[in-house]
Structure 1
């Protein structure tokens, strides 16, 4: 007879992934707002002590965090509900984010801002779709269960 986990372990795990998805959605959306607004408020950041927000190292670190969180939560979401829609939104968004913080830094700030803003919005939407799919189709243990 196989040993199974207690029934209460799944909702807790699911809640943790949903929390991570929420954090990812908010972080990606804030990233998009940051990138859209940055060209307009660039001169005001030092006055507010927030000049680090315009630093490329901060932006790269934030994008790496957002990409890692998106890949973990959306990959886990796909494993649970087997619907590719969040991944289809996330992959172009992640590509735009990475393109925006690497290649587009050599171009005018408008290109950089547009790429990273669109990427952040796509990744945020992917997290929201993933959360919605989790609510509609809760995980059920069955023969195709991956854990």
Structure 2
């Protein structure tokens, strides 16, 4: 297969992932992986595996390995963050997405972070977020414009 055909399949797979057509995306990425097994293709295949079969641990390990190989590619961070969200681990997802945003201001990562509805840290970090003192101080500081 020629490089142009591989890029077309890769773009079709990316578009299918963004639209939520995971089985189609998996087919496209599998075809690309037969000829070009790049870290990006492996990350997308891992995300498809997590989304379709729920195998989030295997998928996360694959994305982490891709990050080790290409630490400057924000796509790996985006997909790993989404995998953590599939595994109901919002804390890890936020950490990974913030790392990706620090490396590259990719709009997809910024959109994912904004969808999560990030909250500020509690006023008194040693107390739980829902502690009455943190809640009252948070409201007061917000009204005063200090937060």
Query: Structure 2 length normalisation: TM-score?
Result: 0.28
